Structure 1
Amino acid sequence: MLHSIDFMTTHNNLVFKLISPKETYPIRHAILRAGKPLASCKFDGDDLGTTLHIGTYQNTNLVGVATLLNAKNTELEDVVSYQLRGMAIREDQQGKGLGKKIINYAETILQEKHVLLLWMNARESAIPFYENCGYTKSGRIFDIQKVGPHVVMFKKLK
């Protein structure tokens, strides 16, 4: 498993580094699982050695998280792929371009690992954000039980 020292960067008072799965829970819970038990923040695959968890810090405060799971989508190309999951930004930090910076950091890490495709099940409300980051929709909108409407989106990495 990679440790934060392996991939860490600083950008305009923000620090991006790899963190443990449990460190993602407070942000996941507040943004993605509000009103649900904290246990709902643990995702299948979180503890795999190939899974990467990104933490974004402003000063020493965790303000954003994302998880990269080594997983192929059978509807997309049969290449080395990762799935973006659990991306969340603290409410008071939303709308400031942090999401795009997290995506860029994730893509950089994956390119260094020779990953060719990043995909996600994007919430319907996040489609314009991901399109703005260069992602393409694949297929129709579908419902994830207890979470809501999503669509698969992907981007080929260089």
Structure 2
Amino acid sequence: MKIKEIHFKDTFPVRHSVLRQGKPIETCFFDGDDSDTTTHFGLFDQENCVGVASIYKNKNTIFNNNEQYQLRGMAVLEEFQKKGLGEQLVMHAENYIRLTQGELLWFNARVAAVPFYERLSYQKIGSSFDIPDVGPHFLMAKEF
């Protein structure tokens, strides 16, 4: 398995399969995907992209840190889940943020994914909330 930087459009097949199944492919484009301050990573099994994660330089006013990044579109194809690959993607993103002098990584985690992120030392912030057409989430974060 290898992780490398990819174009935002290359995230769509994995995002669609895992995060937007049954919805139009257009729903796989997230605000900021095409920004110069956004970086997309793909996890490859041979030549096949089996996991993706996107890092946006994005400030959440809940936090006081100056250098904040947001994780979005984190997904691993179902047949590759539960093999530590998601953890590899998150660790890669964390290393990238440390190299850019980032102070905090935050994201909205689906309720089912909360235990995964808690194992990686992320903290839930506040109560759960609903994202329309997606479902309940928790704000989670980790400082560096």
- Length-normalised TM-score, structure 1: 0.90
Match of 1:56 among 33, 43, 49: 43
1:95-106 alignment runs, 5 A limit? 95-106=82-93
CA-to-aligned-CA distance 1:38-72 (integer Å, 9 cap, x gap): 00000000000010001000111101001101111
2:107 is aligned with 1:120: yes
Amino acid in the other structure paired with 2:104: L
Is the CA contact (8 Å cut-off) linking 2:11 and 2:42 kept in structure 1?
A: yes
2:66 is aligned with 1:79: yes
Question: What is the root-mean-square deviation of aligned Cα atoms in Å?
Answer: 0.6
CA-to-aligned-CA distance 1:103-124 (integer Å, 9 cap, x gap): 0000001100000100100001
**Partner residue of 2:133?**
146
Match of 2:57 among 51, 65, 70: 70
- Length-normalised TM-score, structure 2: 0.98
Q: Does the residue aligned with 1:92 lie in a helix, a strand or coil? A: helix
Runs of 4+ that moved beyond 3 A: none
Q: How many residues align?
A: 144
Match of 2:118 among 131, 140, 143: 131
Structure 2 unmatched runs, 5+? none
